[in-house]
Amino acid sequence: MAKISPELLQKLKSQPQETASLVVRVTGDPEAVAQQAHAWGITVRHVYRLSPGIAVEGSANACLRLLDLPSVVSIEPDQTVHVLKKHTT
């Protein structure tokens, strides 16, 4: 399984200076990936521990560097999730 979808990879490569908001899933301690991301100028917005990963924001070019880290499992767009509430009468 690829770490990133072909569509997202193409989007990031075609707009390297644009800001990307991503969720990065990792194996092991997410803090190590967060520290590396920070060193590359990527803002770490949140560190997830229950399902190890980080939410990041940075230039597409910098975020693509995360793909080279062995502990990175996947990179996906960070999106708002809406939950529908069932109304009862």
Q: Which residue is associated with the tokens 């997830």?
A: 48
Distance between CA atoms of 39 and 82, rounded to whole angstroms?
33
pLDDT at position 86 is: 72
pLDDT band at 89 (very low <50, low <70, confident <90, very high): low
pLDDT at position 80 is: 81
CB atoms near residue 26 (< 10 Å): 23
* Topology of the domain comprising 6-77: Alpha-Beta Plaits (3.30.70)
Q: Are 42 and 62 in contact (CB under 8 A)?
A: yes
More confident residue, 11 or 82: 11
More confident residue, 89 or 79: 79
Domain map (residue ranges) of the chain:
6-77
pLDDT tens figures, 2-48: 999 999 999 999 999 999 999 999 999 999 999 999 999 999 999 99
Distance between CA atoms of 39 and 57, rounded to whole angstroms?
13
